[in-house]
Amino acid sequence: MKFGGTSVATLDRIRRAAKRVGLEVAKGYDVIVIVSAMSGKTNELVGWVNETSPMFDAREYDAVVSSGENVTAGLMALTLQEMDIPARSWQGWQVPLKTTSAHSSARIEEIPTDNINRKFGEGMQVAVVAGFQGISPEGRITTLGRGGSDTTAVAFAAAFDAERCDIYTDVDGVYTTDPRVCDKARKMDRIAFEEMLELASLGAKVLQTRSVELAMRYKVRLRVLSSFEEPSDNAGTLVCDEEDIMESNVVAGVAYSRDEAKMTLVSVEDRPGIAAAIFMPLSEAGVNVDMIVQNIAEEGRTDMTFSCPTEQVKRAQKALDDAKAKGDISFNELVADTGVAKISVVGIGMRSHTGVAAKMFKVLSSEGINIKVITTSEIKISVLIDRKYMELAVQALHDAFELEKKA
């Protein structure tokens, strides 16, 4: 069971979360609870580090920033003990959750189960583990990056072969689209790993992408639910294997990403290796390139368009200007459009149904929305449009694919 920051924001909420843990213990389960820092605490700690040392040592950053989870873990264990449930708190190094040495973005390498299993054997019923943190081969505390507690929870579920992994957040499940944008959005009972992975990577902030990747690889059944709703057997959304879903809509959901930018290199020389010459410097500069479109070449020149997050536009411009100055690439101008949004429709049903793209384009056309860039995969279609039409596009597509209805 994983409880996010809002679910453990106060002592009262920790007590409420502990009661949920007690319900699972009463059913006879040994429970591993993964906790985040109390809401807002990590941001406060990051702020203190930046104020103290703007060019900070990443190892000390991790030592400070990981402390928020330690506090929550101790308080949760104490709360459970007050309920007469044998519980112990565990920091990452005590498990030990072994990670790479990449401070602030470490990856999990191994979770030995011996220590915690031995304590379960001695009568402990709940292990409360501080999420988001581990230990490097050098013996230093590491953190897994923002949202890392989701990844911690799935990794523990896989390592201990748990029956399922419950992720408690401030929303009551996964919706067909953002309910704040479309009031007809429907909570799904089940969604396939692949659909969830696409929705998570396309901007649905319910689950961290890495956690869904892990769950898919190790076949961990994930349940997303709210810690503020009354417990029930059919609460939340189950993220599971495609085989566990009887019937699904062709399109499962509509995702959007508001802060996208479209960048076009005008009149690039068209020669073998030019794509590598453009995208290697962007990669090295840490620019997260998404959609890529190359126009038909004319007289040895072509236009290359790609999208990236708006906050990375300046970094992208500098990387490309530097590459041009070095003579690695030549282009006439670099045009950045920071007023676009990405809209995507996602569904495993697309594999066996035709006409989804045609329908999507027709719907946008009938609303007078111009498509700037298109990319497709086996189970998704994404388009870039003017940001001012984003909400209209989401609502129109949700209506057109009748996502408010169950399959």
Residue-wise burial string across 150-182, b where 16 or more C-beta atoms lie within 10 A, e elsewhere = bbbbbbbbbbbebeebbbbbebbbbbbbbeebb
State the virtual CA torsion across 367, 368, 374, 379 in degrees, nearest 10: 10
* Separation CA 124–CA 88 (nearest Å): 7
69 a known binding residue? yes
> Does 206 show up as a binding residue in the annotation?
yes
* Neighbour-count burial of 328, counting CB atoms closer than 10 A to its CB (0-12 exposed, 13-18 middle, 19+ buried): middle
Helices (H), 98-252: 114-121, 148-159, 193-201, 209-218
- Tokens 């944008």 label which residue? 181
Q: Binding site annotation covers 173?
A: no
**Strand ranges for 313-360 from DSSP E:** 333-346
4 carries a ligand binding annotation: yes
The response to whether 170 counts as a known ligand-binding position is yes
First vs last C-alpha separation in the chain: 29
Q: Which helix (H) or strand (E) holds 50?
A: helix 41-52
Order of strands across the sheet with 237-240? Answer: 87-90, 126-130, 31-35, 2-3, 165-169, 222-226, 237-240, 190-192
Are β-strands 253-269 and 301-309 bridged in parallel, bridged antiparallel, or unpaired? antiparallel
Annotated binding-site residue? 180: yes
The DSSP 8-state label assigned to residue 176 in this structure reads S
Q: Is 169 annotated as a binding residue?
A: yes
Alpha-carbon span 273 to 345, nearest angstrom: 32
Do the annotations mark residue 223 as ligand-binding?
no
Q: Which two tokens stand for residue 379?
A: 């189970």
**Which residues belong to the annotated binding site?**
2-5, 42, 69, 169-170, 175, 180, 205-206
**Which residues belong to the annotated binding site for substrate?**
42, 69
**Which residues belong to the annotated binding site for ATP?**
2-5, 169-170, 175, 180, 205-206
